[in-house]
Structure 1
Amino acid sequence: MKTAVVICPGRGTYNATELGYLSRHFPDAALLSRFDATRQVIGQEQLSVLDSAARFTMSTHARGDNAAGLIYAATYGDYLSIDGEKVRVVAVTGNSMGWYSALACGGAVTPENGFRIANTMGTLMQEAMIGGQIIYPWLGEEWRPDFARKTELLGIVAAINARADHILALSIDLGGMLVLAGNEAGLKAFEASVSPLQGRFPMRLGGHAAFHTALQEPVAEKGRAALGQDLFGQPQVPLIDGRGAIWWPGATDPAALRAYTLGHQVVEPYDFTRALAVAAREFAPDLFIITGPGTTLGGAVAQSLILNDWRGMADKASFQALQGERGLLVSMGMAEQRVAVSK
């Protein structure tokens, strides 16, 4: 049996190719019905209806109040689908909104309460829609570490943020990518300050607010008012948060876990790169399993391992060699990889 760290994806991972993901993969019809009932009570469209739509539309499926529930359900369904006779999960982490999914996968909240947390926070962010996000790479296409370039870009961000009426900050440290967040003036200033790369960067993330910055404090405050302490308990599997801190089974203060989830996690930068470093070094798993939906997080996971010199990986070529030899990374959003870990 192989050991694995499970990684839960965040916003932007349920797209046109993921339409129908729940109908194809979700293993517990009764649980999905309970998720649907939760949304129906508050006047939201059921996940099963959204997932079975004739076509994907950004205006419907990418909205925070819909996307958060779809992504959470797809993630949790994949976690349930992992074959415990093939894989022993030793820790769970996530990217951004994926932290809410990780809470449920790791047993710190029930599946229903995890859904309530994710759906509530997605809805609150959609209603407020404060600021936006942009993504820009600091690694080259060969993924060789260039920390001087990262420092240079963060210097540009700090200079823009110091201007009157401009807000710009690091939102997510995502492997070889910087996810930045701010107001319109700050985002436009960054776009004007850097060179276009690969025909698509700097890239605005449609439908995304200024996650993981102080701009989200009104959302965090409403989240704390809506989501009580009774939702949170002890994890059953170690959880690695967006600071790289580990929440251990039997040694977690549920009040502190709630305070982090509805406080720091919302308004401070999310260090996914650090979370992966801790996952690798503290748990030394045989596999890193990325649940669905989507397949876009694999590059950031690989880059994070390279940046931390995991098993001697120095660039994309050395990662690909190790991946070909050992199958280090398994993306459940890819049918050919899913079979290696699913029931």
Structure 2
Amino acid sequence: MTTGKKSAVVICPGRGTYNKTELGYLRRHFPDQALLTKFDAQRSARDQETLSSLDGAERFSLARHTRGDNASGLIFAATLGDFLSIDRGAVDVVAVTGNSMGWYSALACAGATSPEDGFTVANTMGTLMQEALIGGQLVYPFVGDDWMPDAAKRDDLLVTVSEINGRADHILLSSIHLGGMLVLAGNEAGLKAFESAVDAIDGRFPMRLGNHAAFHTRLQQPVAEKGRDLLSPDLFGQPDVPMIDGRGAIWWPHASDTQALWDYTLGHQVTESYDFTRAIEVAAREFAPDLFIITGPGTTLGGAVAQSLILADWKGMGSKAAFKSEQAESGLLVSMGLHEQRGVVV
């Protein structure tokens, strides 16, 4: 980055982003050992394996590293560490948003919680969800390889979801609007019915998400209630930079109702559909940043961000080819999980 500051919206990833290639991410990138030690102390006090131990393991274990009580802490710490590593002399962070549990990370990045309190929120909610493990999630795309918007296909899929959810003993609900993907959640009967109702795509979809519960649906009401019992409104304060939540609502510095922020975070955010696509659209239209910076861990959220910008017709981009052209020209999207892109902002 050679001339002046560039404005940026920072995007925090959610569950499923700390995988085999991310093992050792905190060791490689986390910039504040004293802070990591504090996170480890919180884990030890709950008789949980420390992040340092998990991240420093000899080999990645799907069963061990993707459990909600472990994954949430690892992802939160990796995200916050990357946020703290951004060169503020070159980058002006104008807003923060996140996908799903990335909202907890966004709170800390934006200063609406302290790093330690943000970790408490993320670790507590990840642990509660793992203990309950209610329902499951799957992913299914409604755009093709060209990423061109297909509202008719999306609407047809949502009709199918509604029809299945109306059957006796079936629960199937929209969990996350994730660019050109629908993330659906429900009970086993609902998930199986959808898998039977739609065409298989590329031998991959519909794809079940391992160790994921029925996040962002009414099935998580017991988890939300426990979270509200355990996590005080005193953990939440005014953000330092604007935050865009899973409805596309903006929480402004010096103007946010912190009781409402607690209520949203441990209420609507847990039990209602999370519209990441809308959050990215609002980020683009309200803040018009030079860059969209996706923190680590992982590199899987880039496609969803690009698809969300296409769905919003941002800068006239209407397809994957148009996005790639814009990306080649302006470097609009920076994924900190990619070494060659990380260097642009660190």
TM range (shorter): over 0.9
Q: Secondary structure at the match of 1:5?
A: strand
The correspondence for 1:246, drawn from 212, 228, 250, is 250
- Please give the alpha-carbon distance, in whole angstroms, between the structure 1 residues aligned to 2:202 and 2:88: 41
- Please give the alpha-carbon distance, in whole angstroms, between the structure 1 residues aligned to 2:322 and 2:311: 12
Structure 2, unaligned runs of 5 or more: none
CA shift at 1:103, angstroms?
A: 0.1
User: Could you tell me which residue of structure 1 aligns to residue 14 of structure 2?
Assistant: 10
Taking structure 2 as the reference length, the TM-score comes to 0.99
User: Could you tell me which residue of structure 2 aligns to residue 208 of structure 1?
Assistant: 212
Counterpart of 1:153, as a letter, is: L
Q: Secondary structure at the match of 1:166?
A: coil
2:171 paired with 1:190: no
Q: Matches of residues 108-119 of structure 1 in structure 2 within 5 Å?
A: 108-119=112-123
Q: Matches of residues 49-60 of structure 1 in structure 2 within 5 Å?
A: 49-60=53-64
Q: Matches of residues 174-189 of structure 1 in structure 2 within 5 Å?
A: 174-189=178-193
User: Could you tell me which residue of structure 2 aligns to residue 330 of structure 1?
Assistant: 334
User: Could you tell me which residue of structure 2 aligns to residue 285 of structure 1?
Assistant: 289
User: Could you tell me which residue of structure 2 aligns to residue 158 of structure 1?
Assistant: 162
CA shift at 1:247, angstroms?
A: 0.2
Structure 1, unaligned runs of 5 or more: none
CA shift at 1:63, angstroms?
A: 0.2
Q: Matches of residues 246-285 of structure 1 in structure 2 within 5 Å?
A: 246-285=250-289
The correspondence for 1:32, drawn from 33, 36, 45, is 36
- Please give the alpha-carbon distance, in whole angstroms, between the structure 2 residues aligned to 1:221 and 1:188: 28
User: Could you tell me which residue of structure 1 aligns to residue 25 of structure 2?
Assistant: 21
> C-alpha offsets along residues 132-187 of structure 1, whole Å, 9 cap, x if unaligned?
00000000110011100000000000000000000000000000000000000000
User: Could you tell me which residue of structure 2 aligns to residue 132 of structure 1?
Assistant: 136
User: Could you tell me which residue of structure 2 aligns to residue 321 of structure 1?
Assistant: 325
Q: Secondary structure at the match of 1:135?
A: strand
The correspondence for 1:90, drawn from 78, 85, 94, is 94
- Please give the alpha-carbon distance, in whole angstroms, between the structure 2 residues aligned to 1:314 and 1:288: 18
- Please give the alpha-carbon distance, in whole angstroms, between the structure 2 residues aligned to 1:308 and 1:254: 30
Q: Secondary structure at the match of 1:339?
A: helix
CA shift at 1:198, angstroms?
A: 1.4
CA shift at 1:229, angstroms?
A: 1.0
- Please give the alpha-carbon distance, in whole angstroms, between the structure 1 residues aligned to 2:210 and 2:52: 23
Counterpart of 2:236, as a letter, is: F
2:339 paired with 1:341: no
CA shift at 1:231, angstroms?
A: 0.1
> Deviating runs (4+, > 4 A) in structure 1?
none
User: Could you tell me which residue of structure 2 aligns to residue 149 of structure 1?
Assistant: 153
User: Could you tell me which residue of structure 1 aligns to residue 48 of structure 2?
Assistant: 44
Q: CA RMSD in A?
A: 0.3
- Please give the alpha-carbon distance, in whole angstroms, between the structure 2 residues aligned to 1:95 and 1:142: 23
> C-alpha offsets along residues 61-105 of structure 1, whole Å, 9 cap, x if unaligned?
000000000000000000000000110000000000000000000
CA shift at 1:199, angstroms?
A: 1.4
Q: Secondary structure at the match of 2:93?
A: strand
Q: May I ask how many residue pairs the two structures share in their alignment?
A: 342
User: Could you tell me which residue of structure 2 aligns to residue 167 of structure 1?
Assistant: 171
Q: Secondary structure at the match of 1:216?
A: helix
- Please give the alpha-carbon distance, in whole angstroms, between the structure 2 residues aligned to 1:229 and 1:163: 39
